[in-house]
Chain A
Amino acid sequence: LKHSFSARSVRQAGMSYLGGALTVDDEARTVEVVRTEGRVRKRTVTMARLKIGDAKARLVNGELRLGDVGVQLASLAEAEEALSLILGPRRSEAMARIAEAANGFLSARARAVSALAELRERPREAMFRMQEGSKEGAEDFLAKSESNWRSETEEAFDSLTAETDPKKSGLDASGVNKVQAAVYAIAAIQDSLASKDQKALGDALGLLSEVSKEKSPTPDAVAGWDAAKATDELAPRALAKINITGADWLQ
């Protein structure tokens, strides 16, 4: 059996348009979501998980009609949850988690790069400040700090990789690549601000502008930023504005 639900019915249920079609296999008691246009993305979940048997979503004349479930809030919430199970996390939630992970990675990396640069440029001051209050010897302290910076950066990167994983995020390859391009561009902005490399800064801002479809600020306009500020101000804004279309998201 092939069932579809209309944009109108979904809007009535208080959700944004998701599109797509459902194939309900009564015998196997599974529901499959298929996009009819573009590349195929299938999700098969059991009916039990959909709570169809509990009449939270019902088959009416061979069609699964969410709008027919009723307008009670509790039911809508249940219906929304059922859709989430089929269609993956809602875009805003997934994107928020990706942005948080990307920001975490960029911040961890910026902290590590800045600490290593300070150690290279002003070693005594850097070690003095870092070691204040510690009872460890300088060698031990340095080795431990360096190891911490590396592991924090790697852990944050692993977390970003996990959040952008298509199975978890619902992003397709193009969407994942856009997130990666944005992260790379912001890291490049941080590094070029630190090294005062105008050419690299221009390239990075251009890439970020293309990814987020935002008007690119000129290198002069960001010359006064430091790496930490670039992470705090740019990353969340740019990541939130990455132009991933609905089709990209679903496919």
Chain B
Amino acid sequence: LFKSTPRCISGHECPFTLFCATCGGMVVYRDLVAGLTELPRAEVKLEGTSVLLVGVSPFAGEGTFFCSLDTDVKEERTVDRLRLKQISGGAWLDYCRADRGLIDSWLRANSFFRSVHKMVVLDLAHPLSVLTVLSLPLDQSLVVVGLAAGDGSTPMEQNTSHVALEASMRRKLPIVVASRDEVAKMSYFLGREGLVTGFAAFERPLGSMLEAMPAMQDALYGDARLGVVVHRLMVLASASDAVYRSPSDAARALKALTESQGVANASSVLMIGSAARARSGEMKSAFDVFLHGMDEVVASKRVTLSRRDVEEVYDLMAVLGTDEWSSKDAARKGYETIANKSKELSVEGLEALL
């Protein structure tokens, strides 16, 4: 504001006083006051990526906005948190019967959709997972990552997870699925912190997916056009030559792991590798090894990210498009147990909400 210099009636530049020290004339403030009406333009610069977390903890992501959705005894609505009122003994259906517009209006109010890239990471076994899947728009800049219930989950969790996945498929909302059991067993070596396990270890693959968002969006929505909605996430984290001899051998191990999980007939593959920059050539060879012999793959993409913390360690991830997931869903057993007892808590119950 004080960058403008006042002048007296004779035109002398003056300090901020009433009378000119040179001529004694009045220092004129008319134009300076008129200038006060010139306001700066509204500038809204948001983080390029927004992440919605449902039933999972936040993770590191530079320049990323994190917001979370959960239930609690008391409702709460802030820019980065929406807590819906807990329904005693409530299952996914009870939350779906609540106001579905709540999530959408909150995500609009906190400008979630204004970021260029959007990711939703949700625990599919969480009571709000079905409501979340039903509330999300079919937006090509949105990537949904779901943690599916497995053998270690309760029947109710398995029921919720299976229905959420079905909801995603029926809505044709692309989703990348990782198993909660596998995530629980995951370990990761971080340069600064050492070994981390469980969801803390899964944060790194999630971080890599955030870095590879444009490729993720392209792959997921390209597959959706071909009718492939569900993608299976396979991760070989913190691999090293001491264990696998080379990235190519690590890729063979990842492929064997993938086949053992019954995801052999993938129709699309997105490979994401993170390694020291000097090893990018080896990562490309590793991608070739993984894709070799996968004859049913109609689209493949490869992304190499630079990992800077530990030079000897590298990660390999495969996002595999498959429409066979539902029949092999480990949560199916628990789903049926609950669905047989309560018809409402079945895929048929979901139909009424779509």
Contact = CB atoms under 8 A, between A and B. Distances in A.
Interface of A: 105, 109, 112-113, 116, 119-120, 123-125, 127-129, 131-132, 137-138, 142, 145-146, 149-150, 153-154, 157, 173-174, 176-178, 180-181, 183-185, 187-188, 191-192, 197, 200, 203-204, 206-207, 210-211
22 contacts: A113-B39, A116-B41, A116-B42, A116-B43, A120-B42, A120-B43, A123-B44, A124-B111, A127-B109, A128-B109, A145-B42, A153-B39, A157-B34, A157-B37, A177-B26, A177-B29, A177-B30, A178-B18, A184-B36, A187-B33, A204-B2, A207-B18
Nearest to B42: A146
Contact of A128 (B36, B40, B41, B110): B110
Contacts of B80: 124
B249 to A, nearest CB: 45
Interface residues of B, number: 33
A157 B110 CA distance: 33
B286 to A, nearest CB: 39
Interface residues of chain B: helix, strand, loop or mixed (majority): loop
B43 A128 contact: no
Nearest to B19: A210
B16 A206 contact: yes
B39 A183 contact: no
B39 A142 contact: no
B108 interface: yes
Contacts of A128: 78-79, 109-111
A143 to B, nearest CB: 9
A34 B15 CA distance: 36
Contacts, number: 113
Nearest to B18: A210
B32 interface: yes
A204 B32 CA distance: 13
Interface in B35-56: 36-37, 39-46
Contacts of B43: 116, 119-120
Contact of B37 (A109, A125, A191): A109
A173 B26 contact: yes
Given A138-B111, A207-B17, A211-B18, A124 B36 contact: no
B46 A123 contact: yes
Contacts of B29: 177, 180-181, 183-184
A112 to B, nearest CB: 5
A207 B36 contact: no
B53 to A, nearest CB: 16
Pairs A-B, 3 closest by C-beta atoms: A180-B29, A128-B79, A207-B16
Interface string B210-237: 0000000000000000000000000000
Nearest to B40: A116
A81 to B, nearest CB: 33
A132 B82 CA distance: 13
A167 B41 CA distance: 35
Given A123-B111, A177-B29, A177-B30, A188 B2 contact: yes
Given A127-B44, A128-B110, A157-B34, A149 B15 contact: no
